[in-house]
């Protein structure tokens, strides 16, 4: 992928077979530690270890796994993995390979960011979300009881290797979560990309990892995200446009105690935030219709669940449990492919009253 970022991003069916070679080129080290979750390792762990053993017969390599799931993205797992690295004898001259979805990418990335004050990490994303979103941009983190991603570091990977063929074993619901972020990329930055996604959706849903159009569409998403990130690495300004759909989406995820899939929450959030953009006159009428049709074509939900009170969503959005005061900030589109600059701030304050009124109208 030709991206605006400083590290190579490879995306092609069969790229998985080149991981060892890319590690040798981009992050040579005496010791190689693969960090994965048990579910991903069951599919791809042995193949990667065999590949590393064949490519580097004189180097030590090991596979460390943790149970799958967001609940494992903790400081406790970070500490445990760090201790296991030390016990195994890993030192400064170690490269970490993150083999898994966004949970492993964030956690192994944070281990790499902090181990010996930082060792190289090669990201090998195995979910669609991790390919089009989590593995691009250098953010690493763990969750805390107070919230998600509250402790972390910026740590760019030495390389990212994406093989769409690995998505053949991913569940449809997790595949859809990736589709939600890909639709988001089209809506915030590139209407032609959104059109290409819409045209490909039937085959993407039917063939998933084997869909012909998938590698190019992953590349398109990576290009959009990496261009935004390259411009604003530490999220002072334009990087906020990547939060489209996520302000409302995060509020819903929290109210659902993270039992709802991220892509579902983001899909609902993108439709709700399109309505906000129209109601405030930021976007011309019609945006919501397009966004709703797109998420529904991907089989994603578009409406706020009937049993979630608008007041609760508003309160969660402004971070005020009593919802008496405050404003929420939204990155909003002017139209498909174009985000509102909001006087250079890229996000617009919306009062609690307006938010409640807009979200209550149906």
Q: Which of 11, 29, 40, 277 binds ligand NAD (CB under 6 A)?
A: 40
Q: Which of 102, 215, 245, 269 binds ligand NAD (CB under 6 A)?
A: 102
Choose the binding region for ligand NAD from 17-25, 35-43, 86-94, 244-252 (rule: CB under 6 A). Answer: 35-43
What 3-state class would DSSP assign to 334? strand
Structure tokens at 350: 């919306």
Q: Which of 51, 65, 95, 177 binds ligand NAD (CB under 6 A)?
A: 177
* CB closer to ligand NAD, 133 vs 278: 133
* CB closer to ligand NAD, 18 vs 169: 169
**Taking Cα atoms as reference points, which of 112, 106, 166, 92 lies closest to residue 136?**
106
Distance between CA 280 and CA 128 in Å, rounded? 33
Q: Is 185 a catalytic residue?
A: no
- 352 Cβ contact list (under 8 Å, min separation 6): 314, 318, 320, 323, 324, 325, 326, 327, 328
Distance between CA 355 and CA 352 in Å, rounded? 5
- Shortest Å, Cβ 11 to ligand NAD: 15
354 is an interface residue for ligand NAD by CB under 6 A: no
Choose the binding region for ligand NAD from 18-26, 167-175, 280-288, 301-309 (rule: CB under 6 A). Answer: 167-175
129 is an interface residue for ligand NAD by CB under 6 A: yes
70 is an interface residue for ligand NAD by CB under 6 A: yes
Distance between CA 178 and CA 131 in Å, rounded? 8
Number of amino acids touching ligand NAD (CB under 6 A): 30
Residue with token string 């909001």: 342
Q: Write the DSSP assignment of 113-136 as a string of letters.
A: HHGGG---EEEEE-SHHIIIIITS
DSSP class of 65: E
Q: Which of 66, 81, 104, 352 binds ligand NAD (CB under 6 A)?
A: 104
Of residues 239, 253, 275, 316, which has the active-site annotation?
239
The CA-to-CA distance between both ends of the chain, in Å, stands at 42
Residues that bind ligand NAD (CB under 6 A): 37, 39-40, 43, 68-70, 73, 100-104, 106, 126-127, 129-130, 133-134, 137, 139, 148-149, 166-167, 169-170, 174, 177
């Amino acid at each position: 992928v030709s991206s605006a970022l400083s590290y190579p991003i490879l995306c092609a069916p069969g790229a998985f077979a080149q991981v060892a070679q890319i590690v040798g080129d981009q992050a040579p080290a005496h010791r190689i530690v693969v960090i994965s979750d048990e579910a991903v390792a069951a599919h791809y762990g042995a193949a990667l270890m065999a590949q590393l053993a064949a490519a580097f017969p004189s180097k030590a390599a090991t596979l460390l796994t943790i149970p799958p799931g967001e609940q494992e993205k903790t400081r406790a797992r970070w500490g445990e993995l760090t201790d296991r690295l030390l016990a195994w004898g890993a030192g400064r001259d170690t490269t970490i390979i993150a083999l898994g979805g966004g949970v492993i990418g964030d956690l192994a990335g944070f281990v790499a960011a902090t181990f010996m004050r930082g060792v190289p990490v090669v990201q090998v994303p195995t979910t669609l979300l991790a390919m089009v979103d989590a593995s691009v941009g250098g953010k690493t983190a763990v969750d805390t009881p107070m919230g998600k991603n509250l402790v972390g570091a910026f740590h760019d990977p030495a390389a990212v290797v994406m093989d769409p063929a690995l998505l053949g074993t991913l569940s449809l619901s997790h595949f859809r979560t990736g589709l939600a972020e890909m639709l988001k990329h089209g809506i915030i930055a590139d209407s032609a990309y959104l059109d290409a996604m819409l045209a490909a959706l039937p085959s993407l849903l039917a063939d998933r990892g084997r869909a012909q159009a998938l590698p190019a569409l992953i590349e398109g998403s990576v290009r959009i995200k990496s261009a935004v990130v390259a411009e604003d690495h530490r999220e002072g300004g334009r990087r906020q446009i990547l939060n489209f759909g996520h302000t409302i989406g995060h509020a819903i995820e929290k109210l659902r105690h993270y039992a709802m899939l991220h892509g579902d929450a983001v899909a609902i959030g993108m439709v709700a935030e399109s309505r906000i953009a129209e109601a405030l006159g930021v976007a011309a009428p019609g945006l919501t219709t397009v966004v709703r049709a797109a998420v529904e074509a991907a089989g994603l939900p578009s409406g706020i669940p009937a049993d979630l009170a608008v007041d609760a969503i508003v309160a969660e959005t402004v971070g005020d449990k009593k919802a008496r005061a405050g404003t929420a900030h939204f990155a909003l589109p002017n139209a498909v492919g174009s985000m509102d600059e909001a006087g250079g701030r890229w996000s617009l304050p919306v009062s609690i009253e307006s938010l409640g009124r807009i979200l209550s109208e149906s």
